[in-house]
Every structure is written in structure tokens, then in C-alpha cells.
Structure 1
Amino acid sequence: VEPLQLCVDVGCGSGQNTNMYTNYFQQVIGVDVSQEQVQLATKSCTHHNVIFKHGLAEHLPVEDESVELLTCCASVHWFNMETFYKEVERVLKPGGVFACYCYFGCDPIYNGKSYLSTYDELGRELYKYFTENHKYLFTEYTSLPAFSSEVQVISSRENKFSIETDVTLETILKEFSSWSSFIKLRKIEGEEAASRFLSKVKQKMLEAMGIQDEGVKITRRFNYFLIMWRKPLA
């Protein structure tokens, strides 16, 4: 099967998502607002058909009606929707696909048992520190403005789109500390409150799993959700 022509990944970060499409398109372009991320992505990329560009989602460095697939992995909820959607309309070919996907937290698994309920209970304590942008995550992107009438949705609960890696509980604690809501908690409540929260997460997870060593190996599963639209042919 001949590769399609062009895929554009918006909000590409370090390029992990962008590089997945290299076997399916003649050219893949990753776009990010951070010059530092673009430089990192370019430096680490080993594919000949990938280009990373510094640019805004609301002003894409792409020609009109040139894109067959436009992707946003864990990024669309940060954009100005009205302006960005106009750009998607401009750059997509008729029949092109606009796909947005993300995960919201992770599912920690130990000895074959999921501890998602414990993880979610702890994560909910940070909800009050989320920004208005995060409302789209709570609905798994189904509350995003409709781009077209032809739409397909995959929920995280369907487990059709997941990635598993072996990590430690310490890794999951570090992930909590990278959440924008946790950073906001630390800024508003102070370092002591932030440290107390991380200690609570550690203690609750250890108790739930019945272990004492935070260095023990556990499985971290990201269950992604996806929504995608097709641009009308005419």
C-alpha cells in the first residue's frame, strides 16, 4: 500500500507521537509552540521523512488543503478552539481526518490487580486546581466543538487504545508532581502542602497494594480516549 502524503502532529512536544506515523505517510510534520521541544524532537529523530517546526496551533506553517491526517495527542485542550478549528479547516484536504486523543491519569496494576480506583480517588483531590482547559479531559474530549458531522469516538473504558510499561511506584509519584494541577497546588498552598499530598499518595498506594517498598515493579497502563472527524469531500 502506498503511503499517504502528509500528516501533521500539532502540539508535538518531543515527537514521540509524531514518529508513530512515519511508515504511513510520505512526510510527517510536527509543530510545537516550544522551540526547546522542537530542538529536542529534531535531535532525537532518526526518520528521514519527519520535520519538526516551531509554530502555533492557531497559525500552522502548512499549505491550504495539503494534510490528510491532523493529530493532537494530549494537546488540543490547550488551544484557542475557534482559531485552531479554522486552521484545521484550512489545512485539511477534503476527506482528511482530524484526530484528537489523550489519557487522563493511569491505571496502576500490581500482581494482576488494578488499583485505578485508589489512584482516581487521590487524583480527584487535585481537581479544584485544574484550569478551564481541563474540562475537555473530564468528558474524554466528547465536549470538544464538533468539527464535522462524520465522527467516531473511542472511550478509555473500551481499552482499545492502551500502552503498558513496567515502572515503580516512585515513577507514578513523579508523574503526579508533574501535573499542572499539582504545580498549581504547590504555588498556592506552598511546598509543605505539596509534600504532604505526595506522601499521602505514596502511603495510600502502598496500603492498597499491601506492600512497603515503593521501588517494587508495577505495571502502568495508559488507557487513551479518541475522537476523530472527517472533513466533508465537498
Structure 2
Amino acid sequence: MKDLFSSGSELYRQARPQYSQAVLDEVLRHVSQRECAWDCGAGSGQFTQMLAPFFKHVMATDLSAAQLAQAPQFSNVTYQAQPAEHSTLGSASVDLVTVAQAIHWFSFDAFYAEVRRVLKPDGVIVVLGYGLIQLQNTELNQQVHHLYSDILGKYWDAERRYIDENYQTIPFPFKELQTPEISLEYQWSGQQLLDYLNTWSALKHYQKAQEQNPQMVDALAEIQHFLHNRTELWHVTFPVLLRTGVLD
């Protein structure tokens, strides 16, 4: 499992989109018992905090201790820095395993073996995430997609393709349950959009390769110029990637 987000953990926590109630409802409707949930690759706890009210105990793990340090605290949540492929959870102890925007970084075979070990016989695994941002404003959308594909294309890690392919090409060796199409929709300020773009791992790779600040990327500068002195909110949408399975 790669750790690309320890650097800039606070910005990641603040700028990444939050999952909706519709996503949470879809996850929970398959879970018959709610003793223990494992949120793996939890990062700064974006999805952990949504699970906390519904389970007696939530174990949230991530390779990055810096990310976990940004997560909100709950009396029934335990945060531990450990790899996805080797947890400290007991065998057949977990009702729900969730992986939010992280499965593409894992060693699939080793992680799924661990999932099979820790899940109860009627347990559920949910892999979720969000795809490429879409903006209602056509010009701004074109600029963001130009940055994503044309400027940063070669700087994305190879695993990013799984997101571009809507998680449909990841291995998923479970009995799969049908899930609906869901989108995340927000009204963002220009600064919120820029903060989100600055969490892109490809920008960090570009910065290292070019030895310059990501803000100096011409395509990003064009977006900054477009947003300069504009106070309106921008309608943004993220398609939700969602796969749900049970032991077969």
C-alpha cells in the first residue's frame, strides 16, 4: 500500500469531498449486525465519522499516522496506523469492512485474504470512492479536465486508472450485491475548488519532477485567473464509485 497523503494531511482533511447521507444509507442497508466495523484506509476519518454513530465499535486504520492524527475523536472509534493487508482484528469479528477512496492503493490479494479472515459469516464489504470532478460551468470544467488529463496525465500513479474505470476493473472476489447510481453534489467557492485541486497526488509528483510549486503549473494558473475576484459558488459533482459484496 502506498502512502501519498501524509504530506498535506490537514489540507486533505479540509478539502476532500464528504460522503452524503445517501451513500451512508446504501452502505448500512446491507448490514444486519452492527457490533464492529473496520474502516480501512481511513485517512483523516471522512467516512469513519459517519460510521461511528451506528456501530458499538469502529476500528479505523491507515498506513499514514499523519492522516489519522487529523481524524475526529469518538469514544467508540479506535485509530491505528497499520497496513491494510495485516490488521490486528480478530478472526470473524467484523460486521462491515469499508474502504473509501483507497482500495486502488492496496495489494488486492493480501487485503482480500485479510477481509475474509476478519469478516463474520454474514459480514459485508463495501468499496467506495468518487470519480473525476465535474463542474456545471463549461469553461471551468474544460480547464480542470485539461489540467487532469493533458498536463498531469503522466504524473498520476498507475493505480489511478482504477478510479477512471469507476472501480469496475478492480478484483472483487465476493458475491456482489446490486447498488444504485449516486452522485455527490456541492456548491463550492473558488478557494474550495483550488484547495481540492491542490490535494491531487499528481500535482505533488509534478512539483517534484519540475522542481517548482504546483501553483506555477500554467493550467492551474489559468484556473486561478478564471476564479480571481469571482465570488459566486460553483456547482460541482462527483460520481460515486460503489461496490458491495458478501462472503460466498
Same fold (TM over 0.5): yes
Secondary structure at the aligned position of 1:23 is classed as: helix
Q: 2:60 aligned to 30, 36, 43, which one? A: 30
- Cα deviation, 1:87-125, whole Å, max 9, x if unaligned, reads 111111112111111113323346xx8954553233212
Alpha-carbon RMSD across the aligned residues, in angstroms, is 2.6
- Paired position in structure 1 for 2:45: 15
- Cα distance, 1:64 vs structure 2: 0.6
Residue ranges of structure 1 left out of the alignment (5+ in a row): none
Which whole-Å CA distance do the structure 1 matches of 2:210 and 2:61 have between them? 35
- Paired position in structure 2 for 1:197: 219
Structure with bigger strand share is: 1
- Cα deviation, 1:37-57, whole Å, max 9, x if unaligned, reads 23332xx32x32222122110
Q: 1:92 aligned to 116, 119, 125, which one? A: 119
List aligned pairs for 1:1-234, cutoff 5 A. Answer: 4-41=34-71, 44-45=72-73, 47-109=74-136, 116-125=141-150, 126-154=152-180, 158=181, 160-164=182-186, 166-191=187-212, 195=216, 196-203=218-225, 206=226, 213-232=229-248
CA contact (8 A) 2:37 2:55 kept: yes
- Cα deviation, 1:124-149, whole Å, max 9, x if unaligned, reads 12222111211211111111112213
Shift in alpha-carbon separation, 1:30–1:90, aligned structure 2, 3 A: same
Residue ranges of structure 2 left out of the alignment (5+ in a row): 1-31
Overall identity of the aligned pairs, in %: 26
Letter in 2 for 1:37: Q
Task: Name which one, 1 or 2, has greater alpha-carbon Rg.
Answer: 1
Task: Give every structure 1 segment of 4 or more consecutive aligned residues whose post-TM-superposition deviation is greater than 6 Å.
Answer: none
The number of equivalent residue pairs is 216
Secondary structure at the aligned position of 1:175 is classed as: helix
